[in-house]
Amino acid sequence: MRVYYRLRQQDDIWTAESVELEAYGRGSSPESAVDDLVQSLTDRFTHVEAMAPPSRPPDIQIEAVPLPEPVGRDALESLPDADLL
């Protein structure tokens, strides 16, 4: 799964915000913010709430791709291999 994100900095905290999903990660560096975003999305998609959950969580691969500038949702569709949910 490919997820596009934007980086922002406020004081000493970096935030990586997903463009397609309502998710974000925070950290003291851009890398740690992106890692936190990927972990947050992985947790979201692998957490199973069921009467009989699977014996192992689903295997999910998330590729975080930075956006160089603010882009509207319509423009995302023109990006190569955009996996919009």
- Per-residue pLDDT at 16: 95
pLDDT averaged over every residue in the chain: 80
**Are 9 and 68 contacting, i.e. CB atoms less than 8 angstroms apart?**
no
- Per-residue pLDDT at 14: 95
CA within 13 Å, CB half, 19: 24
- Per-residue pLDDT at 35: 96
Domain boundaries, the chain: 2-73
Length of the chain, in residues? 85
Is the pTM higher than 0.75? The answer reads no
Distance CA 20, CA 84 (A): 6
Cα-only R_g, the chain: 14
User: Which residue numbers in the chain have pLDDT < 70?
Assistant: 48, 50-54, 57, 69-85
Q: Which CATH architecture has domain 2-73?
A: 2-Layer Sandwich (3.30)
Q: What six digits make up the tokens of 25?
A: 């990660």
- Per-residue pLDDT at 44: 87
